[in-house]
Amino acid sequence: MNLAPETFESLSLPAGFSLARDKQGRLCLIDSRKGAAGPLYVDFLAGASGWRLRDLSRNDLLPRAVGFKSARPPRTLLDATAGLGHDAASLALLGLDVTALEVSPVVFALLQDGLARARASGQELGRRIAERLTPLCADARSFLRLSAAECGSIPDVVYLDPMFPDKRKAARSRKEMQHLQALLPPPNAAELSELMKLALAVAAQRVVVKRPLHAPEIVDNPPPSHSHRGKSVRFDVYLVTSAHPR
Ligand SMILES: C[S@@+](CC[C@H](N)C(=O)[O-])C[C@H]1O[C@@H](n2cnc3c(N)ncnc32)[C@H](O)[C@@H]1O
């Protein structure tokens, strides 16, 4: 399942938005409305993102939450809400085979472009990300429904980072969130509940959900098995008694 359009020129955009390549060849989403954030693009190799990806550790919060330190470390992960792929790229770099789903064709085009440039860069970092990260343009609920029905390829971990109202301090997240929220409203409670139910049915080992530090859990029931807390976000971990051992 891949619903990606062939070219970015065919994508429909909200009023005031456009897509264009900048001087470095990066595909950029440009918001020309008054007071808007600057262009949004994916660059895994440069700037804050490149620095962060070069400085990764298995002791970081997210790798610990997905189970790198567990007795049976995961090998495969489905990032069901990939966005611009920062988390997916870091987990791919740490050695997981990551399938990254993104429902917005515009966000997907930015992700795919960042990956293509990483692959073509000749840099070791770019090669390692591209070799383990497979992006797909799809609604995670349809994808998970199909996986649950067919039980074909079962990811060890399903990772969810649904959009939430942005109160985080980092400039990168503010800019990203402004753009993402203009393209797609955050999922409502019924959508989150369905996503979570499907994720729990499909994951072989665990479901990991990123939440703002003090936000309620993504669903009322079941409660998380445990959580990993940072300064502004936490990762809720739902261990699965697997119906599909690998
Ligand atoms: C907060 S962003 C994810 C950021 C990402 N973790 C990162 O590191 O860049 C959430 C993304 O999930 C996508 N999304 C929301 N609902 C989805 C669904 N049902 N299927 C696939 N993607 C979805 C949104 O379009 C948005 O791009």
pLDDT for residue 136: 96
Does residue 131 lie within any of the structural domains? yes
Question: How many A from CA of 102 to the centre of ligand 1?
Answer: 6
CA–CA gap between residue 194 and residue 199 (Å, rounded): 8
Residue 60 in tokens: 């970081």
Determine the atom of ligand 1 nearest the C-alpha atom of 104: 25
Question: How many A from CA of 223 to the centre of ligand 1?
Answer: 22
Question: How many A from CA of 99 to the centre of ligand 1?
Answer: 13
CA–CA gap between residue 185 and residue 81 (Å, rounded): 13
Domain that holds residue 38: 15-239
Does residue 74 lie within any of the structural domains? yes
CA–CA gap between residue 245 and residue 68 (Å, rounded): 18
pLDDT for residue 75: 97
Question: What's the total number of domains in the chain?
Answer: 1
**Tens digit of each residue's pLDDT, the chain (246 residues):** 656 666 777 788 888 899 999 999 999 999 888 777 789 999 999 988 889 999 999 999 999 999 999 999 999 999 999 999 999 999 999 999 999 999 999 999 999 999 999 999 999 999 999 999 999 999 999 999 988 767 667 899 999 999 865 554 444 556 677 777 777 888 889 999 999 999 999 999 999 999 999 999 999 889 999 999 999 999 999 999 765 555
Residue 121 in tokens: 């860069």
CATH of the domain at 176: 3.40.50.150
**Distance of alpha carbon 145 from its chain centroid, rounded?**
19
pLDDT for residue 170: 46
Q: Is 101 in the pocket of ligand 1 (CB under 6 A)?
A: yes
Q: Ligand 1 pocket test: which of 79, 81, 90, 232 has the largest number of ligand atoms within 8 Å of its C-beta?
A: 81
Is the pTM of the predicted complex or chain greater than 0.95? Answer: no
User: How far from 190 is each of 76, 180, 218, CA to CA, in Å?
Assistant: 27, 20, 11
Q: Is 85 in the pocket of ligand 1 (CB under 6 A)?
A: yes
Question: How many A from CA of 83 to the centre of ligand 1?
Answer: 4
> Buried b vs exposed e over 85-117: b needs ≥16 C-beta within 10 Å?
bbbbbbbbbbebbbbbbbbbbbbbbbbbbbbbb
Does residue 2 lie within any of the structural domains? no
Question: How many A from CA of 69 to the centre of ligand 1?
Answer: 26
Does residue 9 lie within any of the structural domains? no
Determine the atom of ligand 1 nearest the C-alpha atom of 81: 12
Atom 14 of ligand 1, residue of closest alpha carbon:
81
pLDDT for residue 167: 52
Q: Are 231 and 61 in contact (CB under 8 A)?
A: no
Q: Is 86 in the pocket of ligand 1 (CB under 6 A)?
A: yes
Q: Ligand 1 pocket test: which of 49, 143, 163 has the largest number of ligand atoms within 8 Å of its C-beta?
A: 163
- Residue located via tokens 């917005």: 104
pLDDT for residue 216: 93
Does residue 6 lie within any of the structural domains? no
Does residue 158 lie within any of the structural domains? yes
Q: Is 104 in the pocket of ligand 1 (CB under 6 A)?
A: yes
Q: Is 140 in the pocket of ligand 1 (CB under 6 A)?
A: yes
